Structure 1
Amino acid sequence: MKRFLRNLNFLLLFLFLLGCNSGSKNEDAETALGFTLQESDLPDYEKNIDHRGLLTALDDRQGESIRTGEHIYNNTCFNCHGNPEQEGSMPNAFKFWKDEFKMGKDPYSIYQTLTRGYGSMPPQVNLTPVEKYDIINYLRETFLKEANPNQYVAVDSAYLATLPDGTTTGPAPKEFKPWAEMDYGNFLINTYEVVAQNAPPRERSTGPIQPLKDENLINSNFAYKGIAVRLDQGKGGVAAGKAWMMFDHDLMRVAGAWTGEGFIDWEAILFNGKHNISPRTIGELHFENPVVPAWANPATGNFDDPRFTARDKRKFGPLPREWTHYEGLYQFNDRVIISYTVGNAKVLETFGLETLEDQPVFTRTMNISSSDKALKMRIAPTGTSVAVVGEGAVLKDQGGFTVMELPPSQSLKIKLLIAKSGMEGLQQYSKTSSQPEDLNPLIKGGPARYPQKLTTAVQIGEQEGPFQVDILNPPFDSPWKNQFRLSGLDFFKDPNKGVICSTDGDVWLVEGFMKDSGKLTWQRIASGLFQPLGIKVVNEEIFVTCRDQLVRLHDYNGDRETDFYESFNNDHQVTDHFHEFAMGLQTDDEGNFYYAKSARHAREALIPQHGTLIKVSKDGLKTDIIATGFRAANGVCINPDGTFIVTDQEGHWNPMNRINWVKAGGFYGNMFSYNPPTDSTESGMELPLVWVERDIDQSPSELLWVDSKKWGALDGKLLNFSYGYGKIFVVPYEKIGDQVQGGIFELPIPRFSTGVMRGRFNPGDEQLYLCGLSAWGSTQPQLGGLYRIRKVDQPMVIPIGIKATTTGIELSFTDELDQASVNQIANYTVETWDLLRSRKYGSKHYNEQTLNVTKAELGKDKKTIKLTIPEIKPTWVMEIQYKLKDKGGKSIDGSIQNTIHRLGKASTS
């Protein structure tokens, strides 16, 4: 499917959004209205658009415009908004066929909302003005005109006369597929469906009833942990190839081999943005193997699959380690060498491509160490053309497959030749084909595949206030066309060096953080990984959380590039569902690893790991589920007391976003998770630290403890990052009994142009470094970014402590306050409301109340406010707004949103 994107200089937009922290009064008013972008953030051409001409031109191109608008809607908007027959994946998204526009319903007003973003609606920077009016035209004629006529404004001469003058229609639309143009390297790990040409359409369950039913996918050939390897020569990596083989490292099988123009159809959440779908192979499928073990169990000689069987009858996860185990992959130039075990035999395997009378012959070269038992492997279904080169292997027909049998106590080098059914002459060709090579010289490190070191400039921030933001630009013009959707970072012992991963499969070594040169050097050291969303440096070794495994990167020859992608742990099960991201990576004092795995969106879990906090032992040999019941757990924070914090997102069974202080064995509310408790009420789950309203943060990500004396009163405090809105919050909290509760306060820092995913304090300069990305669920327009936040010597006046007592609320601030302003009870507004937790998506407000503040006092430390609130009681959500002054007389306006589960004793000081 085509997706139209504007040929926009993302770097300039990136600079615009963070270049300053203040604007005109008019821009401040616009921001208050809810627009995400101010006028000064927009490209210059937007100030001179001929809106009248664009709308008038629709008369002559109505059919074309509707078709284009429908295409854009189906490929960009439908995922979230849906249509009257099919609810979108975000049920609270605007419904054009019945809702009322908040920022104006005429075409020009809708154009402004599309361009600048509003609330949870991100600015559509990917669309040209022509495309925006095409989608507006489609919405008006398809949804508004008949189903929602009160929101339909006639475009007549009187209306056209009200539009601003302009002379340009903006950039011309351009077909642009960044996900398909990127050079991922010669392999790319993902979940793929292997299909023949003209395969029937995918079965995709839809509807307003949640959870959605399971599709019948029992006969679909999914490689859930598929390593797609390019076989033909040429530049551009796997996406630019014409011949491929797919290895499934759950089952140690070749799932299939195919050729053609085009690698896959790119239908996936982090490719073309499609939900509820995994990419399919395209082109001619020459052979395939079903989703069953490739190697027989050495202990029994049979192929019976003992793995976990899900509710839909599919089996998931790796085979037992004693049977077979994926060790990882080596790379040598463009060669990929897979390493795995079968029993006590070690196998190195690489793939290749030969030709016979201009027809492709796929090769599998194996170096197999001696085994204490005979081995056998299914090569391909009976009828596929198969031949063997080398000594020691016997081919037989068995159980509908061509099977290779190997004797025990021998080290063997074997090359298999595989071609589509009906190829003649393969046996004769095998006599002249080259002998199987020794693969050991290829696993000691090869020449650099990405020798270029890229340099970028650091833009030093000079914002007013206690924090200054430096923009550390990634090399957006990289020769490999990387998207730089940055998803994790960490530092080495040398604080000048760090590593950063991206969801597109890359790991980058970045240097220059401590230097005053104003430059950073970027070196691509790994590629082809499956949706990395966390990274950690442990004893100078790099570990990466991927959707299919926890990977340790090894450089054998000192060029810093990864020569061996070790599968440190691949225990967790992976399905085809788009939503089950593996998020974050942390280690405890003993060296154990932790990450969170999300659940299926709008569906019941299929596997035990859906919606869980997962622990991997420090040696990688054991995996445990620590807590359950999460929906979309974006990362993990380890607390000083050994507990954890995991955020979760609004959705089914989550009336709002939540920040969870996690205890081992706890259940955190998602009744669609695997094996939930029978009690679906609040008493059947652990309660969150705080419920977070969507207007505060649409999608919270990871939390981080401040570890920096330079951050003054914030040192040792808790920060929360916003993927949804690109914000940073401080999280004041208290513990009453075994219940942690608290609130959230936005730091006085402008919104970042990306969602913020992960952060680390650099031990060298003690400042906060952040990386982020924008995809589904983020309103921010920039694909990815890297930032540094420096605390400067100015007062913060930020609330860092909160207590809910039987008499009211106590707020503790970083700096001293003006007593006169504190004592004025008119300076406070306290509101509360309840939420309803159910299988429905989100919740509206219930029982809204405004509570009276009858007294306000400043404590002896001049930093603590005691609010007397006679009506206080436990509540789902409380919002405290204040208008105060600091000790110097400067006005300080702020808002804290918090949750109260229990009331404690009021302090006497």
Structure 2
Amino acid sequence: AALVTLVSLSDSDKGLSSRWQPEDSQLRLKLLPSGGKAGGKLKLSIWKGPGAGLEKYAASLDAGEPADLSPLTKGGPPRWKEKLETETRLGADNGAFAVDILTAPMENPWKSWMRLGGFDFFADGRRAAACTWMGDVWLVDGMGTKSGKLSWQRIATGLFQPLGLKIVDETIYVLGRDQITVLRDLNGDGEADHYENFNNDAEVTEHFHEFAMDLQTDAAGNFYYTKGGRHAKDSVVPQHGSILRVSKDGSKTEILANGFRAPNGLCVNPDGTFFTSDQEGHWTPANRINWVKKGGFYGYMWSFHKGKKPTSYDPPLCWLHPRYDRSPAEQLWVPKGCWGQLGGHLISLSYGTGAISHILHEQAGDLMQGGATKLNIPIFPTGIMRGRFHPGDKHLYLCGLFGWAGNRTQAGGLYRIRHTGKPMHTPLKLHATTRGLVLTFSDPLERKRAASADRYSIERWNYLWRQQYGSKDYKLSDGKIGRDKVSVKSAVVSKDGRSVFLEIEDMKPCMQMLIRYKLTGADGARVSQEIYNTIHKLGDHSKAAKLFD
């Protein structure tokens, strides 16, 4: 029997005018306010079935008043009434940095797995919102105080693996694999009553590896996040392996750059460029810290390509050997006025090792190059995912989790790093010139050791960009597996004792260099670090030489 469709519409107070309009082989119902009223109530019934049953169904239609749905727009009683109290545990402040633990309620009545993948502060600085990888969002009260109690309130659940959160105009936006969701509290009890779809342009497949990471905004109010590619498989949707921009009103999404395998975190720069990390794997010979420009391709061939596939890639700011960091996460700028001499500098978080690195960088023509060195901050017990500097106390707050391969296996955590004002004894700048390397430190060095060439050791090597997972180290000298030793001919210390020129006779570009040194500060402190760096171009030595006149 032929199927028919019956549509019935009833309007209670004539506050709406209706019109049926055929359009593109469909019947569209258009509703408009009428009679000077702002709106009204209506009831729409739709039935589809065999024609023989049409009269029977039509007779059963209730022509009564449409139900009043307004109570459902005002929020309901709280689902999670209990607020959980934890404490802030202060760390020792005998070094340049102190680490405080903002204890999370790992044991809670709802067995919520507290693997924290994103957070942000409200304007008052006392409160923050944090999301867990399992789909919850929590309010945290008591932030921005040196010590004391923290109050945790579960306010939402059921989101799809959220790994980014941003608060805009006191409203919480959460990034899941499927969409950006706005959480609306309709009755002021703190809980989200309405989970509003802000933008669901995200292209989702069943593949486990296509994480949606981080959530940031620019000065114009646009939103940005990263989308992972498929592991060991070619892309099937255009967004695989990309950086995405969502308009301020959520109406459209644009792919800005691609070629990413697993970009965990995003730093939005004022000039329209970005920093993001990527992880060693297929078509990614080592971890990358990328300086990203719109339209760039960053190496992962199994990200999406429209038309002919590329035969080369935009190089990273620096490669990072997996021995240094097996899985870098977000990069962020230290605000000027924070953290002493590191104010205005770039740092990088590590999911894989739980460490914090300073990213030394310099412009090299149209490229950016530099390296990474770990700050003297205790290693965290969980992988660090996201960081934000507090609007009030100016300290760095961090959240993290353990969810896939990594060295730090605590399920999750929330932390604060305080700069104590004590000497950092860390590199601030690295310049590669035609004659060698210039290192500038935060604090003066003991001159005798710093001027001894045998206090430094340098190696360099290249990687092979190919489909296979990762890469061996390959010598520049003969292309064979291994590393070249680089001889430091001499070491010259600047007058202020903060810079050292390492003379190297055969300076040349390389994908990876490892610089080690064992020095002493002028105050007797031990200064022993490693720098993993990349050289794309050699700079003019005459500019660097002015430090040593």
TM-score bracket for this pair, using the shorter chain length: 0.7 to 0.9
Query: Aligned equivalents of 1:677 and 1:744: distance in 2?
Result: 36
Q: 1:636 to 1:710 in 2, by over 3 A?
A: closer
- Determine if contact 1:718/1:732 at 8 Å carries over to the other structure: yes
Does residue 396 (structure 1) correspond to residue 34 (structure 2)? The answer is no
Aligned to 2:381: 753
In structure 1, C-alpha distance between the alignment counterparts of 2:384 and 2:159, rounded to whole Å: 21
Name stretches of at least 5 consecutive residues in structure 2 with no aligned partner: 1-20, 33-39, 476-482
The Cα shift of 1:777 comes to 2.2
Distance 1:894 1:819 in 2: 17
SS in 2 for 1:731: strand
How many Å apart are 1:812 and its aligned residue?
Answer: 1.3
How big is the shift at 1:634? 0.7
**How many pairs does the alignment contain?**
508
Q: Tell me the CA shift for residue 811 of structure 1.
A: 1.1
Which of 479, 502, 525 is matched with 1:867 structurally?
A: 502
Letter in 1 for 2:135: G
1:658-702 per-position Cα deviation (integer Å, ceiling 9, x unaligned): 010000000111111111775654xx2110001111111111110
How far apart are 1:862 and its partner, in Å?
A: 2.1
SS of 1:624's partner is strand
Give the aligned residue type for 2:128: G
- 2:99–2:415: 8 Å Cα contact kept in structure 1? yes
Partner of 1:839: 467
Contact residue 381 and residue 409 of structure 2 kept, 8 A: yes
Residue 719 of structure 1 aligns with which residue?
Answer: 347
> Could you say which residue in structure 1 is the equivalent of 2:266?
636
Preserved CA contact (<8 Å) 2:127 2:142: yes
Taking the aligned partners of 1:719 and 1:511, their CA distance within structure 2 comes to 27
1:330-729 equivalences under 5 Å are: 392-396=45-49, 437-462=67-92, 464-516=94-146, 518-675=148-305, 678=308, 681=311, 684-707=312-335, 709-729=337-357
CA deviations over 1:240-290 (Å, ceiling 9, x no partner): xxxxxxxxxxxxxxxxxxxxxxxxxxxxxxxxxxxxxxxxxxxxxxxxxxx
Between the aligned partners of 1:820 and 1:708, the Cα distance in structure 2 is 33
Q: Distance in 1 between matches of 2:361 and 2:532?
A: 11
Structure-2-length-normalised TM-score: 0.88
Partner of 1:12: none
Residue deviations 1:366-415 (CA, integer Å, cap 9, x gap): xx987xxxxxxxxxxxxxxxxxxx874332359xxxx99xxxxxxxxxxx
2:350, 2:385 within 8 Å by CA — same for their partners in 1? yes
Aligned CA distance change for structure 1 residues 624 and 345 (closer, same or farther; 3 Å): farther
Task: Answer yes or no: is the 8 Å Cα contact 1:545–1:585 preserved in 2.
Answer: yes
Secondary structure of 2:77's partner?
A: coil
Structure 2 residue identity aligned to 1:806: T
Aligned residue in 1 for 2:404: 776
Identity of aligned residues (%): 48
> Closer, same or farther in 2 for the Cα pair 1:685/1:344, shift >3 Å?
farther
Partner in structure 2 of residue 902 of structure 1: 537
The structure that is strand-richer by fraction is: 2
What is the CA distance between 1:908 and its match in structure 2? 2.4
Distance (whole Å) between structure 1 residues aligned to residue 177 and residue 93 of structure 2: 38
Distance 1:831 1:679, change over 3 A: farther
Q: Could you tell me whether the CA contact under 8 Å between 1:599 and 1:673 is conserved in 2?
A: yes
CA distance in 2, matches of 1:345, 1:829: 75
Q: Deviations over 1:737-788 (max 9, x none)?
A: 1100110001112221110000000011110100000011222121100000
Note if contact 2:276-2:290 (Cα within 8 Å) is conserved in structure 1: yes
Contact 2:90 2:147 in 1 (8 A): no
Q: Secondary structure at the match of 1:393?
A: strand
Once residues 507 and 385 of structure 2 are traced to their aligned partners in structure 1, the CA distance between those partners, rounded to angstroms, is 35
Shift in alpha-carbon separation, 1:344–1:512, aligned structure 2, 3 A: farther
Deviation string for 1:185-235 (max 9, x for gaps)? xxxxxxxxxxxxxxxxxxxxxxxxxxxxxxxxxxxxxxxxxxxxxxxxxxx
Contact 1:704 1:719 in 2 (8 A): yes
Alpha-carbon distance in 2 for matches of 1:717, 1:754? 24
Mapped contact 2:319–2:512 kept (Cα < 8 A): yes
CA spacing shift, 1:872–1:482, aligned 2, 3 Å:
same
Please give the alpha-carbon distance, in whole angstroms, between the structure 2 residues aligned to 1:782 and 1:298: 59
Bigger RCO of structures 1 and 2 (CA < 8 A, at least 6 apart): 2
Q: How does 1:74-113 map to 2 (within 5 A)?
A: none
State the one-letter code of the partner of 2:497: K
Is the 1:577–1:600 contact (alpha carbons within 8 Å) kept by the matching residues of 2? Answer: yes
Cα distance in structure 2, aligned partners of 1:876 and 1:391: 65
Q: 2: distance between equivalents of 1:717 and 1:463?
A: 22
- 8 Å CA contact 2:340, 2:421 repeated in 1: no
Task: Please say if residues 669 and 686 of structure 1, whose CA atoms lie closer than 8 Å, have aligned partners that are also in contact.
Answer: yes
- Larger relative helix fraction: 1
Q: Does 1:828 align with 2:456?
A: yes
The structure-2 alpha-carbon separation of the partners of 1:607 and 1:886, relative to structure 1 and needing over 3 Å to count, comes to same
| 8 Å contact from structure 2 (residues 432, 535) kept in 1 | yes
Q: Which runs of 5+ in 1 are unaligned?
A: 1-296, 303-322, 324-341, 347-367, 371-389, 405-426
Equivalent position amino acid for 1:691 in 2: W
Q: Is the CA contact (8 Å cut-off) linking 1:708 and 1:761 kept in structure 2?
A: no
Give the superposition deviation at 1:298: 7.3
* Structure 1 residue 707: Cα displacement: 1.4
Alignment partners' CA distance in 1, 2:335 and 2:250: 28
Q: For residues 11-41 of structure 1, what are the alpha-carbon distances to aligned partners after superposition, in whole Å with 9 as ceiling and x for unaligned?
A: xxxxxxxxxxxxxxxxxxxxxxxxxxxxxxx
| Distance of aligned partners of 1:776 and 1:676 in 2 relative to their CA distance in 1, 3 Å threshold | farther
CA distance in 2, matches of 1:583, 1:502: 13
2:71 is paired with a residue of what secondary structure?
helix
State the AA in 2 paired with 1:393.
Answer: I
Give the whole-Å Cα distance in 1 for the aligned partners of 2:309 and 2:515: 33
Instruction: Report SS of the residue matched to 2:109.
Output: coil
Amino acid at match of 1:663: K
Q: Does 1:733 align with 2:361?
A: yes
CA distance in structure 1 between the aligned counterparts of 2:500 and 2:327, rounded to whole angstroms: 30
Change (3 A) 1:475 1:857: same
Distance 1:842 1:298, change over 3 A: farther
Give the match's secondary structure for 2:450.
Answer: helix
The offset of 1:851, in angstroms, is 0.5
Q: Which residue of 2 aligns with 1:382?
A: none
Whole-angstrom distance in 1 between the partners of 2:177 and 2:459: 41
Match of 2:525 among 873, 887, 890: 890
Q: For residue 601 of structure 1, report the CA deviation from its aligned partner.
A: 0.7
> How far off its partner does 1:475 sit?
0.8
Once superposed, what is the RMSD of the aligned Cα atoms?
Answer: 2.7
Alignment partner of 1:709: what SS? coil
The AA in structure 1 aligned to 2:123 is K
* CA distance in 2 between partners of 1:833 and 1:436 (Å): 74
**Deviation of residue 516 (structure 1)?**
4.9
- Post-superposition offset of 1:727: 0.9
Q: Structure 1 residues 464, 624: closer, same or farther in 2, change over 3 A?
A: same
CA spacing shift, 1:505–1:298, aligned 2, 3 Å: farther
Please give the alpha-carbon distance, in whole angstroms, between the structure 1 residues aligned to 2:306 and 2:519. Answer: 46
What CA deviation, in whole Å up to 9, does each residue of 1:535-575 have, x standing for no partner? 11111111111111111111111112111111111112111
Match in the other structure for 2:18: none
Partners of 1:485 and 1:772 within 8 A in 2: yes
For 1:369 and 1:701, the matched residues in 2 are separated by: 50
1:509 offset after TM fit, Å?
1.0
Confirm whether residue 299 of structure 1 aligns to residue 23 of structure 2: yes
Q: Kindly indicate whether the alpha-carbon contact (under 8 Å) linking 1:593 and 1:618 is maintained by their aligned counterparts in 2.
A: yes
Structure 1 length-normalised TM: 0.54
Aligned residue runs from structure 1 range 64-83, under 5 A: none
Letter in 2 for 1:808: G
